[in-house]
Amino acid sequence: MTDTLADRAQRYLMASAEEMKKAGLPQYMQARLLRLREMYAYWLQNPRMVDKDIVGVLRQKYGLGLSQAYEDVRCIKICLGNLGRITKDYDRWLFRERCEEGWQMAREAGDAKAFAAVTATYLKGTQLDKEDSTAPDYSSITPQQFVISADPAVAGFKVVPGIIEKAKKLEARYVQEFEEVDNHTTPTP
C-alpha cells in the first residue's frame, strides 16, 4: 500500500461516486474505495473483530489474496483510527449501562444486598475507590548534560604520564613491522 492510497482513502472514503469521478480517480480505485467503505462500516458494526477476522471476510466476499486483504485492513485501520481505543470506550459504556440495569432491578425487587453488590462491582470496575495516580511532573526534569573529554581521569582512570607519546611509538613500530612482513621480509626484533 502506498501513502497515496491511504491519503485517498481518508479523503474519499465517504465520497459519492460523482465526487470520485470529479477527482479523476480511476475506476479500479473507485471500486476499491467502495470496498474499503463497506468493510469500514462492517468493522464499526463488529468492533470486537480483529484483523484476521476482517481479512477472512475480505478474502471470502471479494476473493482477495492474503497480501491484498491485509493491505486493505491496514488502510481501513488508518481510517478508523485506534480501533482498540474505540472498543475500550465501548466496553466502559456497556459496563455502566449494565450497572444501571442492575441497580434498576435491585430497586424494583427491593433487594438492598443486590444493590450493594452492583455498587461494589461498579466501584471496582471504575476504580473509584482508589486514589488518582499522581505521576511526576516530567516537564521539570532536565536532561543530563554530557561533555565529551579525552581526559581518562574524568571516567575515573589513573592518568599515565606520556601515554600518548608511548602509543605513537608503538604504532610506528607496528606499522614498520607490518610493512616488513607485507614485503615478505623477516621482521627485525
CA distance 75 to 32: 11
C-alpha grid cell for residue 4? Answer: 497515496
- pLDDT given for residue 111 in this prediction: 93
pLDDT at 185 over 70: no
Question: Per-residue confidence at 86, pLDDT binned at 50, 70, 90?
Answer: low
Q: Where are the strands (E) in 21-146, listed by range? A: none
C-alpha grid cell for residue 183? Answer: 614485503
Mean pLDDT of the chain, nearest integer: 82
Mean pLDDT score, 33-48 = 88
| Claim: this prediction has a pTM higher than 0.85 | no
Question: Per-residue confidence at 108, pLDDT binned at 50, 70, 90?
Answer: very high
Break the chain into its structural domains and give their ranges: 3-82, 85-126, 153-182
Residue 64 phi, psi (nearest 5): -80, 155
Question: Per-residue confidence at 143, pLDDT binned at 50, 70, 90?
Answer: confident
Count CB neighbours of 33 within 10 A. Answer: 23
Residues whose CB is less than 8 angstroms from the CB of residue 57 and which lie 6 or more positions away in sequence, other chains included: 39, 42
Most confident of 72-76, 89-93, 143-147: 72-76
C-alpha grid cell for residue 146? Answer: 554530557
CA distance 30 to 11: 12
* Residue 86 contacts residue 43 (beta carbons within 8 Å): no
- pLDDT given for residue 84 in this prediction: 53
C-alpha grid cell for residue 64? Answer: 482477495
